[in-house]
Amino acid sequence: MSFTAPDSDQLPRTLNDYYSRARAGMSPRNRAYFLAGAGDGQTASANETAFQQAEVTPRMLRDLRGGSTEVSLLGQKLVAPFLIAPFAYHRLLHDAGESATARAAEAQSIKMVLSAQSSEPLDRVRSSGPGSDWFQLHWLGSREATQALAQMALDAGFTRLILTIDAPVQGVRDREIEAQFQLPPDVSAVNLARFTPPAFTSREDAQSIIFDHIAETLPTWADIAWLIETLEAPLLLKGVLHPEDAAQAQRIGAAGVIVSNHGGRVLDRAPSTLSALPAIVAKVGPDYPVLMDGGIRRGVDILIALALGAKAVLIGRPIACGLAVAGDLGVSHVLRLLRDELEIAMLLSGCATVQDIERDMVHLKL
Ligand code: FNR
């Protein structure tokens, strides 16, 4: 299951080299799980294409002394405006799983968001990377169960919470079905073991196969408003694509939204996140924390997302590739390459600080 970490002189040298080596080295099942999108993969590839089609018009001869990539977000200082996105089951890629990823994040002073579907116990991950204090929740079928999961995270020292709202059911995962993906017996969502899955009542008058079984266990805005009121920590909503949903999140007191389509793993045909971002920022205003993820593969992509109004971004598959190729060393290297590329993009486009990255520098050809 795991790869042996190569000597550092055998490590890939570029981000694209990580992605191609990871793709080539993964088992077909892992490739289907980690790299494919739902359905035809249209949304997953639209995320990447949107960045590739964006144009950055650089500014020249500005004063670049004292530059930095630092930002403030929800009362925390980040050395660079990106975090590791929450993704499930790191142990499929490396024996040390999320602990290896957290160690790498710590080494680079970048924060990792731990998924509720972590394959390592959350205490162990926290102690491997104490600087990573963000945790991602799923709705667990009821207010009480979801609140208990949030409390478990807060008790373990997490201080920033994200609730993922875009995956009430799994997307149509053709690639996983074709590859017969299933979890091996030694990999599971260990932190959810103590929560009993919601009981589905099958009713005589059921009109549909899937709807009638799960709809009762799904949250609505009233449930989220309740959760936000009961929690003593900021909660962001992840998986927002419509400006009205962003405005609703703002109204009920969410600490921010993450413009995301789950890396194209849920509703195939959903818009790319980069194309959805500007209207959302316009709706909630420039001061509300809007983050985004999906399709970011290079440092310059981070600059593009920031120009369009994101306060920070999350990075998923590039991190999975680093972990697959070389464990914590690989993740650490991918983080470093992303940050170096961002700095180079800022210098080349005349931006000493993140505040200097302006909307009119980026043109979207969508
Ligand atoms: C995810 N994502 C995800 N999101 C979440 O909130 N909880 C989770 O457990 C997971 N699990 C997961 C597994 C895998 C294999 C992937 C690829 C993604 C979505 C993730 O947080 C993020 O939205 C996307 O990965 C961002 O897109 P990129 O950077 O992978 O293009």
Distance 11 CA to ligand 1 centre (A): 25
pLDDT, position 34: 98
Residues 6 or more apart from 60 whose CB is under 8 A from it? 350
Burial 158-193 (b: 16+ CB within 10 A, else e): bebbbbbbbeeeebebbbbeebebeeeeebebbbbe
Q: What angle do CA 128, 75, 292 make, to 5 degrees?
A: 80
Q: Read off φ and ψ for residue 345, nearest 5 degrees.
A: -60, -40
Could you identify the atom of ligand 1 that is nearest to the CA of residue 238?
6
CA of 293 to the centre of ligand 1 (A): 9
Q: How far apart are CA 252 and CA 358, in angstroms?
A: 29
ipTM of the complex: 1.00
* Residue 116, pLDDT score: 98
Task: Tell the residue nearest (CA) to atom 16 of ligand 1.
Answer: 87
What is the C-alpha separation between 283 and 298, in angstroms, rounded? 27
Taking the centre of ligand 1 as the mean of its atom positions, its distance from the CA of residue 84, in whole angstroms, is 10
CA of 249 to the centre of ligand 1 (A): 21
Q: How far is CA 358 from CA 59, 192, 287, 310, in A?
A: 10, 42, 15, 11
| Known catalytic membership, residue 138 | no
Confidence (pLDDT) at 201: 63
Q: Which of 94, 262, 333, 363 is catalytic?
A: 262
239, two tokens? 């998986």
Task: Mention every residue, 6+ apart, whose C-beta is less than 8 A from residue 52.
Answer: none
CA angle 182, 184, 190 (to 5 degrees): 105
Q: Beta partners for 164?
A: 138, 238
Q: What's domain 12-197+219-363's architecture?
A: Alpha-Beta Barrel (3.20)
- Taking the chain (366 residues) in runs of 10, the rounded mean pLDDT of each run is 64 98 98 98 98 98 97 98 98 98 98 98 98 98 97 98 96 97 97 85 69 84 98 98 99 98 98 98 98 98 98 99 98 98 98 98 90
Determine the distance separating the centroid of ligand 1 and the alpha carbon of 262, expressed in angstroms: 5
Contact 325, 282 (CB under 8 A): no
Residue nearest to atom 24 of ligand 1 (CA): 263
Check pocket membership of 43 for ligand 1, CB cut-off 6 A. Answer: no
The best mutation among 259, 262, 298 to test binding of ligand 1, ranked by most ligand atoms within 8 Å of the C-beta, falls on 262
Give the orientation angle of helix 42-52 with respect to helix 273-284, to 10 degrees: 70
Ligand 1 lined by 315 (C-beta under 6 Å): yes
How many beta carbons lie within 10 A of that of residue 233, not counting itself?
17
Residue nearest to atom 1 of ligand 1 (CA): 87
Q: Which of 127, 38, 30, 29 is nearest to 323 (CA)?
A: 30
